[in-house]
Amino acid sequence: MAPTRTFFIALVFAAAGSLASAGGHDGNPAVKARKAHMQLYAHNLGILGGMARGNMEYDADAAQAAASNMAALSSLNQRSYWAPGTSNAELGDETKALPAIWEQGSTAGQIGGELAAASAALAEVAGNGLEALGPALGPVGATCGACHKAYRVAD
Ligand code: HEC
């Protein structure tokens, strides 16, 4: 028993070590995490937008799943990956996050709250047909745009 247990413990540490070094070599872990979070927004919103624009056939289950994902994602506590000291002023090209996010009077947190509210409302109706989905998407997309305009380096 004992050797097996030691082996497993060694495996766990090896895995943890490689995660930590991946963070060190490939960039700031907070930046990577928030970009991944944004990619999940884009993926799920892309499905819903595709249906709303008629590029994808409306499917109630798929719409509900994507909208529920949006509601869940937007309600996660994202504190650790919006850590102070990780703007483009400190990290350069690695990130497009502007220092204004962390400055006095920043509305980034408020916009995040609006996204969560709009996503919860979207999840209420997304499975009820295309006519219900379309109008509920607008407020979600508006918060993405508002935050990018104010707090992300323009493309
Ligand atoms: C509270 C502000 C805020 C909100 C709300 C927000 N974003 Fe972002 N988004 C950012 C910032 C800041 C960046 C740049 C992150 C970086 O480079 O570190 C970003 C980056 C991105 C990226 C690029 C990620 C990458 O891999 O570089 C995508 C895609 C994206 N956002 C999609 C969305 C979508 C879709 C929504 C709405 C559902 C959304 N965002 C809502 C602030 C926000």
Residue nearest to atom 36 of ligand 1 (CA): 144
For residues 100 and 147, the answer to whether their CB atoms sit within 8 Å is no
What is residue 23's predicted lDDT score, i.e. its pLDDT? 44
For residues 95 and 28, the answer to whether their CB atoms sit within 8 Å is yes
- In whole angstroms, give the CA distance from residue 112 to residue 34: 13
| Non-local CB neighbours of 34 within 8 Å, separated by 6+ positions | 78, 81, 82, 97
Would you place residue 21 in the very low, low, confident or very high pLDDT band (cuts 50, 70, 90)?
very low
Q: Is the CB of 114 under 6 A from ligand 1?
A: no
Q: What is the mean pLDDT of residues 48-77?
A: 97
**47 CA distance to ligand 1 middle (Å):** 17
Q: Is the CB of 152 under 6 A from ligand 1?
A: yes
- In whole angstroms, give the CA distance from residue 141 to residue 32: 22
For residues 68 and 133, the answer to whether their CB atoms sit within 8 Å is no
pLDDT digits (tens, 9 = 90+) for 94-146: 999 999 999 999 999 999 999 999 999 999 999 999 999 999 999 999 999 99
pLDDT digits (tens, 9 = 90+) for 64-100: 999 999 999 999 999 999 999 999 999 999 999 999 9
Would you place residue 26 in the very low, low, confident or very high pLDDT band (cuts 50, 70, 90)?
confident
pLDDT over 80 at 1, yes or no? no
**Residue at 45: amino acid letter:** L
**14 CA distance to ligand 1 middle (Å):** 32
**97 CA distance to ligand 1 middle (Å):** 9
For 104, counting Cβ atoms within 10 Å of its Cβ (0-12 exposed, 13-18 middle, 19+ buried), the class is: exposed
Instruction: Provide, rounded to the nearest whole percent, the portion of the chain with pLDDT above 70.
Output: 84
